[in-house]
């Protein structure tokens, strides 16, 4: 007996929920996943965070223009002074879209490694992996940062920057279908 159209749709829906569960539950992301989803990966110091307005289909959308002094690109390339825009503002009011989405606030003066996703059609971007693609640099080690961008996330493992760089390079050498 063939399953009905309704039961096939329900089965597909259950599979989709299972596939998305790790994302919805805030699962951590691997260097492989972060590297593959990032357009650029760079190490740099945040120089400024300036609130801006972006036109979203004729309506204003509050965002922040972050300016970085880039010391190294691990993936992609770009200028030594990189500016990108991300939805939300550093003050994170209750209705702030960046806060609602769980996007990291970059604090001027701090050094980060950022796995930056491609820009959208309206010129916005954010870190890959729902914030897991932002690491706070301390000397020659890095740790996943909390959403406020100033301290490591609770329980974040400390990793040597050289080991992270090597892991990213290894991912970039592999064909896309292989882990």
pLDDT tens-place string over residues 157-167: 899 999 999 99
Higher pLDDT, residue 13 or 136: 136
**pLDDT surpasses 80 at 26:** no
Angle value at C-alpha 172, between 169 and 106, nearest 5 degrees? 70
**pLDDT surpasses 50 at 14:** no
Q: What is the pTM of this model?
A: 0.79
Give the pLDDT mean for 2-26: 39
pLDDT over 90 for what percent of the chain?
56
Among residues 159, 116, 115, which one has the least CA distance to residue 139? 159
Query: Mean pLDDT over all residues of the chain?
Result: 83
Q: Match 């606030």 to its residue by tokens.
A: 105
Q: How far is C-alpha 130 from the geometric centre of its chain's CA atoms?
A: 5
Give the pLDDT mean for 108-113: 96
- 60 phi and psi angles, rounded to 5 deg: -75, 140
Give the pLDDT confidence score for residue 16 in this predicted structure: 31
Helix/strand/coil for 158: coil
Give the pLDDT mean for 150-179: 87
- Domains annotated for the chain, with CATH where assigned, are 28-173 (2.40.50)
Instruction: State both tokens at 60.
Output: 């204003």
């Amino acid at each position: 007996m063939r399953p009905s159209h309704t039961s096939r749709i329900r089965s597909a829906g259950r599979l989709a929920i299972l596939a998305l569960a790790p994302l919805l539950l805030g699962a951590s992301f691997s260097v492989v996943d972060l590297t593959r989803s990032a357009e650029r990966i760079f190490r740099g110091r945040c120089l400024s965070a300036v609130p801006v307005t972006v036109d979203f289909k004729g309506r204003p959308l509050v965002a922040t223009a972050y300016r970085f002094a880039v010391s190294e690109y691990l993936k992609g390339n770009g200028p030594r002074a990189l500016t990108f825009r991300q939805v939300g503002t550093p003050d994170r009011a209750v209705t702030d879209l960046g806060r609602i989405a769980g996007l990291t606030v970059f604090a001027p003066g701090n050094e980060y490694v950022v796995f930056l996703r491609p820009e959208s059609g309206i010129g916005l971007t954010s870190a890959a992996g729902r914030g897991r693609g932002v690491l706070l640099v301390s000397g020659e080690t890095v740790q996943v940062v909390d959403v406020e961008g100033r301290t490591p996330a609770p329980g974040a493992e400390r990793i040597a920057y050289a080991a992270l760089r090597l892991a990213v390079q290894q991912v970039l050498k592999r064909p896309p279908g292989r882990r």
